[in-house]
Structure 1
Amino acid sequence: MMPLTSQTQLIHFLQQELLIPAESIAMAQRQEEVFPDLLPMVLWQYGLITIEQLEQVFDWLETR
């Protein structure tokens, strides 16, 4: 089994732990083309996650 990329792991966390809909993540990923590596910030900027969820994402990223 191939190891998951960091981006794939992040998406899995967003969907499984924070219950962010796939459609919201896909929309943010389209915006991410303009702002690479800023998926969590794009989700927050567009109101797709709360500031508390953004903090959870940053906490999760710190443990990676």
Structure 2
Amino acid sequence: MFKKSTMQSRLVNFLEDELAIPPDWISLAQAKGEQDPSLLPMVLWQYGLVTLEQLDRVFDWMEREPLATLN
């Protein structure tokens, strides 16, 4: 459980700090993502809250992370 919350926190920090995604948008996507943090980027994109370019940046970030999965 600790790993999951740490990765989720790091993902949220990346979204807010690097992509300037408002916290309210992230909260909305988390609620729609059925508590699965790995779905967060796709939910943000599906709702038009991030561009395809931003989505690519998120996936690139996720690949570079030492703990590659969010689950």
* Identity level (%): 54
2:68 maps to which residue? none
Give the unaligned 5+ runs of structure 1. none
Report the count of equivalent residues: 62
1:22 maps to which residue? 23
- Deviant stretches of 4+, over 4 Å: none
Matched to 2:39, the amino acid is L
Deviation at 1:33, TM superposition (A): 1.2
Give the unaligned 5+ runs of structure 2. 66-71
TM-score by length of 1: 0.89
Higher helix share: 2
Matched to 1:61, the amino acid is M
- Taking the TM superposition and a 5 Å limit, the aligned residue runs for 1:1-64 are 5-33=6-34, 36=36, 37-64=38-65
